[in-house]
Chain A
Amino acid sequence: MTIIKISQRISDNFGDGLKHFFSILERVQAIDKNEPITFDLSTCSFLTPFFLLPFFLLVKVESNKREIKLILPNNPSLASYLQFIHFTSGLQPENLTDEKYASLMKEYGKKTYIPLVDFPATRLARDTEIRDSFLSTINSILTQQVLLNVQFKTAIMYLVDEAVNNIVDHSGESRGYILAQYFTANGYLDVCIGDCGVTVLGSYQRNGKEDINTGKDALISASKGLSTKNRPDAESRGFGISTSLNMLTNGLKGKYSLLSGSAILIKTLTRSEVATIPKELHWPGTIVGLRIPYLNNSSFNPADYYE
């Protein structure tokens, strides 16, 4: 049994959550694939969505291969937060009755975060219905928490919707995951959305885009809005990333990260970069991080960024 101790505090610096996640991922990759692992969070005092969601997915992926144990934090407020966001299992909307789901979600309207939701990502009618209802609820909770004006509300809904729909359209996976937290003092909302699917590169390759053959090329193509489909009469199933990137970073002065397979795309007001990451840090899926600042800027209009 290998014990991996998680850092006491992960700062709210945009890249810090991913930095800690990769450091754990590197250690996990170096451990024999049959050896059990214990992740020790006992001394943790502060964790953010940009760490928690990727870490949750790592635990999920590794649990399919080996025995995994979690030692939860001793810090009572962090322990209670993790319990409240359903960190160990994720909240599956379809396992709740409509009444229970509605009342649970209403509780979150008074908080500054939403639970870690493990939502169905297939196009089956029942899954679509669940996802539609969950998206409406999440949108309403987030906007209730942040008390945004209508333009910001539209922007948040657009950004979250686009990332969730990309999982449905491109991941090839049956589940997607979302976690969000509003940092009142800092005035921004952090949203993390992910899957354990085929990656952006995998999606292009499954659709015959043979000229796109590295993770980096795939993210560059997706950021330009290139569709995975070849048919001119098909609906335009691009990833919609170009609009999200532009709206979030140029319109809202926010930050965007997209980790997929062996590449990561980072976009801020001053950075526009795609990096190939060390090969041992390959992530089997896609994780989007959105930092959405609340700027009380009445001249911001999401439609200015629709492409």
Chain B
Amino acid sequence: MEVAKIDGHTLNTRDGAVKLFNFFLGDKFYFKTPIILDFANVEFMSRSFADQFYLLKKNWEFGNNTKIELQNYNKQIAEILEAVSNTQYSQENKRNIKSEIKELQFGELKQFEEYLLAI
């Protein structure tokens, strides 16, 4: 299945990933065959698309006991998929990251304007 023909050359949104999966969810034929997603001519995959795609792919593979294979993907796609696979389910840990952000408070416009001018 050629991804670029379904979602275009840049994969931008979560909904794009849903659209891709709906494409084969709607066809019973795919339940019986291994699925190969061909990313030829896809230039870019956003974090949002990758995140949704990863989750849908995992659920599909679990639910249908079959693997979805990816081919002809570029380095950027490989890297973003690797990144999302490392971050799924780790949200709560992020609460504990020590904040290195300095906290400021401005009560008056003039002070705040001076701050903005200094950036």
Point out residues on A near B: beta carbons under 8 Å: 13-16, 18-19, 22-23, 26, 123, 125, 128, 131-133, 135-136, 139, 153-154, 157-158, 161-162, 164-165, 168-169, 216, 220-221, 223-227, 229, 232, 235-238, 240, 243, 255, 257, 265-266, 268, 271-278, 280-281, 302-303, 306-307
Contact B95 A226 (CB under 8 A): yes
**For chain B residues 54-108, which have a beta carbon within 8 Å of chain A?**
55, 75-76, 79-80, 82-84, 87-92, 94-95, 97, 99-108
Contact B99 A277 (CB under 8 A): no
- Residue with the greatest number of chain A CB neighbours at <10 A, chosen from B12, B87, B88, B107: B12
Contact A272 B102 (CB under 8 A): yes
Q: Which residues of A contact B13 (CB under 8 A)?
A: 128, 131-132, 135, 165, 168
Q: Say how far A112's CB is from chain B's closest CB, in angstroms.
A: 22
* Contact for B44 among A157, A221, A265, A277, CB less than 8 A: A157
Q: Which residues of B contact A277 (CB under 8 A)?
A: 106, 112
Q: Which residues of A contact B8 (CB under 8 A)?
A: 132-133, 136
- Residue with the greatest number of chain A CB neighbours at <10 A, chosen from B8, B46, B106, B119: B119
- B8 to A, closest residue via Cβ: A136
Contact A307 B87 (CB under 8 A): yes
Contact B91 A226 (CB under 8 A): yes
**For chain B residues 1-44, which have a beta carbon within 8 Å of chain A?**
7-10, 12-16, 19, 44
**Please, how many angstroms separate the alpha-carbon atoms of A231 and B118 in the complex?**
41
Contact A161 B48 (CB under 8 A): yes
Q: Which residues of B contact A273 (CB under 8 A)?
A: 101-104
**Please, how many angstroms separate the alpha-carbon atoms of A22 and B101 in the complex?**
23
A13-B117, A125-B15 are known; give 13 further A-B pairs, CB within 8 A. A16-B116, A18-B116, A22-B112, A123-B15, A128-B15, A131-B12, A132-B13, A216-B103, A236-B89, A272-B101, A272-B102, A281-B112, A302-B76
Q: Number of residue pairs across A and B with beta carbons under 8 Å?
A: 162
Q: Is the interface of B mostly helix, strand, loop or mixed?
A: helix
Q: Which residues of B contact A16 (CB under 8 A)?
A: 116-117
Q: Say how far B12's CB is from chain A's closest CB, in angstroms.
A: 4
Can you offer 18 A-B residue contacts whose CB atoms are under 8 A? A14-B119, A18-B116, A128-B15, A135-B13, A139-B10, A154-B44, A154-B76, A158-B47, A165-B14, A216-B103, A221-B95, A224-B94, A227-B91, A232-B91, A236-B89, A240-B47, A275-B112, A303-B83
Q: Say how far A25's CB is from chain B's closest CB, in angstroms.
A: 9
Contact A139 B94 (CB under 8 A): no
Q: Which residues of A contact B101 (CB under 8 A)?
A: 220, 223, 265, 272-274
- A240 to B, closest residue via Cβ: B47
- Residue with the greatest number of chain A CB neighbours at <10 A, chosen from B14, B46, B106: B46
Contact B109 A23 (CB under 8 A): yes
* Contact for B79 among A26, A131, A306, CB less than 8 A: A306
Q: Which residues of B contact A275 (CB under 8 A)?
A: 103-106, 112, 115
Contact B107 A224 (CB under 8 A): no
